[in-house]
Amino acid sequence: MAELQEVQITEEKPLLPGQMPEAAKIHCVETPYGSVTFTVYGTPKPKRPAILTYHDVGLNYKSCFQPLFQFGDMQEIIQNFVRVHVDAPGMEEGAPVFPLGYQYPSLDQLADMIPCVLQYLNFSTVIGVGVGAGAYILSRYALTGLTSSIPEMILGHLFSQEELSGNSELIQKYRNIITHAPNLDNIELYWNSYNNRRDLNFERGGDITLKCPVMLVVGDQAPHEDAVVECNSKLDPTQTSFLKMADSGGQPQLTQPGKLTEAFKYFLQGMGYMASSCMTRLSRSRTASLTSAASIDGNRSRSRTLSQSSESGTLSSGPPGHTMEVSC
């Protein structure tokens, strides 16, 4: 058997001469186990996770990762992701020496600091890059992060990344409600049940489908927009109304209650209820835009697609047995 020999591979395409380094933003946040310093490069990209790095023992983020992230071929990647480089406590440049008797956090505790970093930045998902001890810390976070960052995980389920990054009063309100909920342990159990849910296995024209009238509502910035659109494609179009609401995120009942109320009244009228109810709110402020076409199934067949934009229009009720497309 031929003897294995160690081969040294020289990297090519280093950082281009004259290429300007990116501006770094250094942050420090307090955690239950002390402060942690991290450096952010780039701007958050919609619907993309951040790249988060954690270095090995004896290094900091610069000595561990700078050669990699300054490599020429890496530039295509870093242009598409915001990066967060975490320094273990006391490992950042210029860090003071800890006092005698200081109890350094365990690796598990270092992992529990990561949710504080993500909450500070309003990030819900990351791609972890760790080396040695840093890889262990990120692995421990991946195993326990669900428990330690339950509020952020749930907020990422309720609201879009754009909404969380905007950190509006609504986001601040619900972050406070969930973070300080006295029944957070119960919420975690409910959350775990949701994550262990089974697929409904809807099939248009198949045996498994909803046979009752259905109205699906989703915001155009909702984190689960694609899933709702897919669900709509699998339901009976003669029984389903689909409302895609513009300028709305994951919780349209909170951000667009007026529009949703009008749509719900319209849905009820289609079922034969509240025939005399007036659609006053939208009809006063918008111009009607309604297209209807006769359905082949007569009065018992009904299919509506409600698509909302921020332009103009109103939700109007029409006679049963029509396919209606409404823009408002």
What is the residue extent of each domain of the chain? 24-94+104-146, 150-196, 214-271
| 217 close to 243: Cβ distance less than 8 angstroms | yes
For the chain, give the longest Cα–Cα distance: 90
Question: How much of the chain is in helix, strand and coil states, percent to nearest 5?
Answer: 35, 20, 45
CATH number given to 24-94+104-146? 3.40.50.1820
Q: What is the CA radius of gyration of the chain?
A: 26
pLDDT tens track of the chain, all 328 residues? 334 344 343 333 444 445 555 678 999 998 889 999 999 999 888 778 899 999 999 999 999 998 888 888 888 888 889 999 999 999 999 999 999 999 999 999 999 899 889 888 888 788 899 999 999 999 988 887 544 467 878 888 898 878 887 878 888 898 888 888 888 888 888 888 888 888 888 888 888 888 888 888 998 888 888 889 999 999 888 888 898 888 888 888 888 888 888 888 888 888 888 776 665 544 444 433 333 333 334 333 333 444 443 333 334 344 333 333 333 3
Helix boundaries (H) for 167-312: 169-179, 184-195, 225-234, 252-255, 257-270, 280-285
CA atoms within 13 A on the CB side of 16: 8
Place of tokens 């006769």: 294
Q: Residue type for 265, please?
A: K
**Residue 20 has which token pair?**
């300007």
DSSP letter at 172? H
How many helices (DSSP H) and strands (DSSP E) are in the chain? 12, 10
CA distance 185 to 214: 33
| 54 close to 130: Cβ distance less than 8 angstroms | yes
Q: Is 58 left (phi over 0), alpha (psi -120 to 50) or beta?
A: left
